[in-house]
């Protein structure tokens, strides 16, 4: 028996083959969920969905910074499936910029995908979740929100991910009476394409030295925590931030 038998889940930014979204989609599917992968490119989203175990998974194009696109994707899936139970706001981009190098377009790009995207997808599904008095939303923040960067992303990335924490907690407070839970995941240094080939060997050594468990995390490490937050195992958790960082935040 799977933890998500009969559940329908939407995961944004899940087309990236080695990414956290795709690993989460795979684990959700293994646990019985039917999954929709939303990403910028329709063909890549469809290919990622087709690669999941089981039948009925869907890949859709959806740029999460476009409010209408978010609503259209949500409406399409509610109509197709009759219900959506889980939303994982995973789409995100980062840039390794120093404070003074952040240009207006850098600020817009990085904060928009994480923060505006999370807000828009949450808004698109909230009426449906409220109507059914159930729903679990999992938002991808980052350890860089908690400790002010230090791995790869610049201050605008830390700010965007800290914004995601605030949005998570405020939405959790507002939606709790409706039976809808909202939680955040704060991954540490996880080996995916978001940093692939972009970290110098020196930087990598430095980052690993700051991780008590002495290794980068895997996408599966994050997926396991997403499964916990998405499933009824975490039925009494809302507004929480779950750290997945090998001990990086132990003071
Ligand atoms: P990734 O780069 O492998 O995948 C990100 C995906 O988001 C890509 O498929 C991309 O096409 C998609 N995307 C980008 N902009 C989009 C948009 N506007 N609309 C829809 N999709 C869009 O990244 P990842 O490492 O798997 O990261 C997933 C999430 O986890 C991100 O929010 C990231 O900030 C966060 N995170 C990652 C790490 C890490 O070390 N990898 C650590 C902490 C937090």
8 is catalytic: no
Name residue, tokens 């997808």. Answer: 121
Indicate if ligand 1 lies below 6 Å from the C-beta of 192. Answer: yes
Check residue 51 and give its pLDDT: 98
Please indicate, yes or no, if residue 12 is contained in any of the structural domains: yes
User: Considering the domain boundaries, does residue 250 fall inside one?
Assistant: no
Q: What is the pLDDT of residue 55?
A: 96
Domain membership of residue 115 (yes or no) is: yes
ipTM attached to this prediction:
0.99
**Beta pairing class for 135-140 and 86-89:** parallel
Look-up of token digits 């409010």: 67
Assign 3-class secondary structure to the chain: CCCCCCCEEEEECCCCCCCHHHHHHHHHHHCCCEEEEEECCHHHHHHHHHCCCCCCCEEEECCCCCHHHHHHHHHHHHHHHCCCCEEEECCCCCCCCCHHHCCHHHHHHHHHHHHHHHHHHHHHHHHHHHHHCCEEEEEECCHHHHHCCCCCCCHHHHHHHHHHHHHHHHHHHHHHHHCEEEEEEEECCECCCCCCCCCCHHHHHHHHHCCCCCCCECHHHHHHHHHHHHCHHHCCCCCCEEEECCCCCCC
**Residues in CB range of 127: below 8 A, 6 or more apart:** none
16 lines ligand 1 (CB under 6 A): yes
Predicted confidence pLDDT, tens digits, the chain (251 residues): 899 999 999 999 999 999 999 999 999 999 999 999 999 999 999 999 999 999 999 999 999 999 999 999 999 999 999 999 999 999 999 999 999 999 999 999 999 999 999 999 999 999 999 999 999 999 999 999 999 987 889 999 999 999 999 999 999 999 999 999 999 999 999 988 877 778 888 888 988 999 999 999 999 999 999 999 999 999 999 999 999 999 999 97
Domain limits for position 182: 8-244
Q: Considering only CA atoms, which residue is closest to atom 19 of ligand 1?
A: 63
In a domain, 3, yes or no: no
For the full predicted model, state whether its pTM sits above 0.90: yes
- 163 CA to centre of ligand 1 in angstroms: 16
- Between the CA of 193 and the centroid of ligand 1 the distance, in Å, is 8
Domain count, the chain: 1
The answer to whether 162 touches 168, Cβ cutoff 8 Å, is: no
Smallest CA separation from ligand 1 atom 12, residue: 13
**Which CATH number fits the domain that encloses residue 85?**
3.40.50.720
Q: What is the pLDDT of residue 167?
A: 98
Q: Which phi and psi (to 5°) does residue 180 adopt?
A: -105, 125
Between the CA of 13 and the centroid of ligand 1 the distance, in Å, is 6
CA 229 and chain centroid, separation: 12
The residues pairing with 12 across neighbouring beta strands, listed in sequence order, are: 38
**What is the per-residue pLDDT for 203?**
86
pLDDT given for residue 150 in this prediction? 75
Q: Determine if ligand 1 sits within 6 Å of the CB of residue 12.
A: yes
Atom of ligand 1 nearest to the CA of 151: 40
The Å distance, Cα 165 to ligand 1 centre, comes to 16
Q: Is 217 in the pocket of ligand 1 (CB under 6 A)?
A: no
How far is C-alpha 197 from the chain's CA centre? 22
249 lies in a domain?
no
* CA neighbor of 96 nearest in space, from 110, 108, 117: 110
């Amino acid at each position: 028996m799977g933890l998500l038998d009969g559940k329908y889940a939407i995961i944004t930014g899940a087309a990236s083959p080695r990414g956290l979204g795709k690993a989460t989609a795979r684990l959700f599917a293994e646990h019985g969920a039917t999954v929709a992968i939303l990403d910028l490119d329709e063909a890549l989203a469809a290919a990622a969905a087709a690669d999941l175990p089981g039948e009925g998974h869907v890949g859709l194009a959806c740029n999460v910074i476009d409010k209408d696109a978010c609503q259209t994707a949500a409406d399409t899936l509610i109509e197709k499936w009759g219900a959506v139970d889980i939303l994982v706001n995973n789409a995100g981009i980062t840039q390794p910029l120093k404070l003074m190098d952040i240009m207006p377009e850098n600020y817009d790009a990085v904060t928009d995908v994480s923060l505006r995207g999370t807000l828009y997808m949450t808004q698109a599904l909230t009426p449906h979740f409220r109507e059914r008095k159930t729903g679990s939303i999992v938002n991808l923040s980052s350890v860089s929100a908690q400790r002010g960067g230090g791995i790869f992303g610049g201050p605008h990335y830390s700010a965007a991910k800290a914004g995601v924490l605030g949005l998570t907690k405020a939405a959790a407070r507002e939606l709790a009476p409706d039976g809808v839970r909202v939680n955040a995941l704060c991954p540490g240094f996880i080996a995916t394409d978001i940093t692939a080939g972009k970290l110098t060997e020196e930087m990598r050594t430095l980052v690993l030295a700051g991780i008590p468990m002495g290794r980068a995390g895997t996408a599966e490490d994050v997926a396991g925590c997403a499964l916990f937050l998405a499933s009824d195992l975490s039925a009494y958790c809302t507004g929480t931030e779950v750290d997945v960082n090998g001990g990086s935040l132990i003071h």
